Structure 1
Amino acid sequence: MLHPQVRAVAKAGGVPPPLTVETLPAARAGFVATTLAEAGPGTPLAAVSYASAGGVPIRLYLPASDSPLPVTVYLHGGGWAMGDLDTHDPLCRYLAALSGAAVVAVDYRLAPEHPFPAAIDDVDTAVTWLRRVGSEIGLDVSRMAIAGDSAGAHLATVAARRARDRGQPFAAQVLVCPITDHTAELSDVDSPGLLPQGLEFCWDAYAPEGVDRDQPDLAPSTADLVGLPPTLVITAEHDILRASGEAYAQALAEAGVPAVAVCYQGMIHGFFRRLARFDAARQAVAQVAANLRAELS
């Protein structure tokens, strides 16, 4: 059953139009415009700043500390086609405050203007830059995790595999309501969250016709998962991606990766950033923060 807070938001918001090339600009603008109402004003931190990470815009969130901070690279959701540093600003602030780690939000390029592999290449560029100069800005890059929600979680797990293959593995990864393979079976749920049509649009935008969607950079479960970092997967009961996220956590466990999957009852896709709407969002961020604090200690 949907949580009462979810039911209330769905009743007040109505049914959004289908996601198409024509409606995408309005959907992007709405995603940004509703951030304050959805996520709140954000938690004060010791410092928040911008930088160019090898040409990729990032926002750096620093909690107070007298010693070099561990790092969490955060990749926002939005189906590879929406979202930016502002839509996830309150979330990143709260995560930094609770985890005690610096959070680096990456403003990767969006589809369909910049299809695969633009987004994941931007993530790699930003991570490489962080490892090179992080110590100069007060970061302990030997303790680095990667996290993301939805499409950002997809990018996170691909980035984690690439980092492992370079011999510079992350210490942990956190995947919230992750998109996984394009062939993954969708959970049969009646939800005001992500709909199959919207997910299909996002796949077509990011990996359009002619792109092999079965390659590991697009279908992460087809890759060798051995040696990936300890993983926390968070799913939502009423999310069409719930079963595929849980299946990916199981695949990680089968490969010997310490992996835990936690389902938030009554919640929908995208609940994680909606700190001002759903009590479960704050609890989920607190869980992620505790996980990161333990893995990066």
Structure 2
Amino acid sequence: MIDPEIQAFLDEMKRRWAEHPPFGDLGFPDQRAVSEKVRARWTEGGPAMAETVERTFDPGAGELRIRVYRPAGVATPAPALIYLHGGGFTLFSIDTHDRLMREYAAAGGFVVIGVDYPLSPEHKYPVALDRIEALILWLKAHGGELGVDAARLALGGDSAGANLSFAATLRLRERGEGGLVRAILANYGYFTPEVSDRAEERFGGPGSIMDRAEAQSYYVNYLADWDAGQRDPFACPIHADLAGLPPVFLVIPECDLLTEQSLAMEERLEQAGVATMAKIYAGATHSFLEAMSVAAVAREAIRDGATFIRDRLD
């Protein structure tokens, strides 16, 4: 059963979507513009930062916009969580996730670096991944320019952002830089386009926050080669060799089309010997963290994630 506070959040989201043309009738730029408007309500309020700095630059593989959130009382150089927003590789931005990143910074007492990576289908795999990897390598050499301790970096994200967090860490491991990422925070990760009939029956279908067809359409946008991409471990990290990854915390909503993927990832991580925490949040759905202003379960998950990152970076 969906948590009543989460259901109220979903109901308001539906009302806001209904104020705009049908999503399928819009091109990608208009879809993104509508998504920003619909989610603007959920970015309001929240903790103030001692400093917020935005920067657009090329860390080595193409231009990125980043936003650096520094809460009060954090020493310099500070530990940092690099956060990758969700949106199916196609939608959303550091603006839709602004409050969530401020909440993590305030709750954990660390800097958060939000990344506006290039979106699909205009920028197919592996463009976004290339730039995220380049950013982490840039921070190794230049983190001090942002007041960040490059020896204390974590990577995290929601949905597609969780996918990119695993993929970037795997890429770094392959080049001998796996130690750069000290922890991974994976919020309702999207790790493969494969969605079971059971998941679709229980949590998808008409009226759901996300059904199988929508979820798979995002991977269609993302992958340049559908057949090869589904088995590429950097595009679908559920298929990767996960040995040697840093500690992982899987935030798992109970009522989500992608819950089965987080549970499968938990099993694979444990088999690979990775220190793994996983917690199922009763009554929560996909995107439930956005309901932080109205839902206790979202605030609980944010506190848990912030504590996990803080403890591994201290």
- TM-score norm. by structure 1 comes to 0.93
Specify which of 208, 222, 240 is matched with residue 223 of structure 1: 240
Aligned partner of 1:180 among 170, 177, 191: 191
Structure 1: where are the runs of 5+ without partners? none
Q: Please list, as runs of the form range in 1=range in 2, the aligned pairs for 1:52-67 lying within 5 A after superposition.
A: 52-54=57-59, 55-64=63-72, 65-67=74-76
- 1:78-227 matched pairs, under 5 angstroms: 78-168=87-177, 169=179, 170-185=181-196, 187=199, 188-190=201-203, 192-210=208-226, 212-213=228-229, 214-227=231-244
2:45 paired with 1:45: no
Say whether the 8 Å CA contact 2:193–2:215 is kept in structure 1: no
Deviations 1:106-144 (A, max 9, x none): 110000111111111121121121111102332111011
> 1:212-245, CA deviations, whole angstroms, 9 ceiling, x for partnerless residues?
1211111212221110010000111111000111
1:193 is displaced (CA, Å) by 1.6
Residues 293 and 11 of structure 1, relative CA distance in 2, 3 Å threshold: closer
The aligned amino acid for 1:216 is P
AA aligned to 1:49 is V
Percent identity, please: 31
Equivalents in 2 of 1:60, 1:268: separation in Å? Answer: 28
Q: CA RMSD in A?
A: 2.0
Q: How much does 1:277 deviate? A: 3.3
Pair 11,210 (structure 1): closer, same or farther in 2 beyond 3 Å: closer
2:7 corresponds in structure 1 to: 7
Cα deviation, 1:84-122, whole Å, max 9, x if unaligned, reads 110011011111111111111111000011111111112
How far 1:21 moved relative to its partner? 7.3
Alignment of 1:242-281 (within 5 A): 242-281=259-298
Q: Which amino acid aligns with 2:161?
A: G
Between stretches 176-185 and 7-16, larger displacement belongs to: 7-16
Partner of 1:226: helix, strand, or coil? coil
CA contact (8 A) 1:182 1:203 kept: yes
Helix, strand or coil at the partner of 1:228:
coil
Q: Is this contact kept in 2: 1:153–1:178, CA < 8 A? A: yes
Q: Is the 8 A contact 1:19 1:201 kept in 2?
A: no
User: Contact (CA 8 Å) 2:220, 2:226: kept in 1 or not?
Assistant: no
- Distance change >3 Å, CA 82–CA 75, structure 1 → 2: same
Distance across 2 between alignment mates of 1:24 and 1:234: 29
Give the partner amino acid of 2:3: H
> How far did residue 18 of structure 1 move?
7.3
TM-score normalised according to structure 2 size: 0.88
Aligned equivalents of 2:8, 2:54: Cα separation in 1: 36
Change (3 A) 1:91 1:233: same
The 1:259–1:198 alpha-carbon spacing in structure 2 relative to 1, beyond 3 Å, is same
CA distance in 2, matches of 1:115, 1:245: 24
CA distance in structure 2 between the aligned counterparts of 1:247 and 1:139, rounded to whole angstroms? 34
Matched, 1:76 2:89: no
Larger deviation, residues 154-163 vs 181-190: 181-190
* TM-superposed deviation, 1:22: 3.3
Return 5+ residue gaps in structure 2 as ranges: none
3-state SS of paired residue (1:42): coil
Cα distance in 2, alignment partners of residues 201 and 272 from structure 1: 23
Rounded Cα–Cα distance in structure 2 between residues aligned with 1:9 and 1:63: 27
Aligned-pair CA distance for 1:20: 4.0
Query: What is the CA–CA distance in structure 1 between the aligned matches of 2:290 and 2:58, rounded to whole Å?
Result: 24
Amino acid at match of 1:201: S
Between 278-287 and 80-89, the greater mean CA deviation after superposition: 278-287
What is the alpha-carbon distance in structure 1 between the residues aligned to residue 111 and residue 119 of structure 2?
A: 24
Q: Tell me: CA distance 1:26–1:274, structure 2 relative to 1, closer, same or farther (3 Å).
A: farther
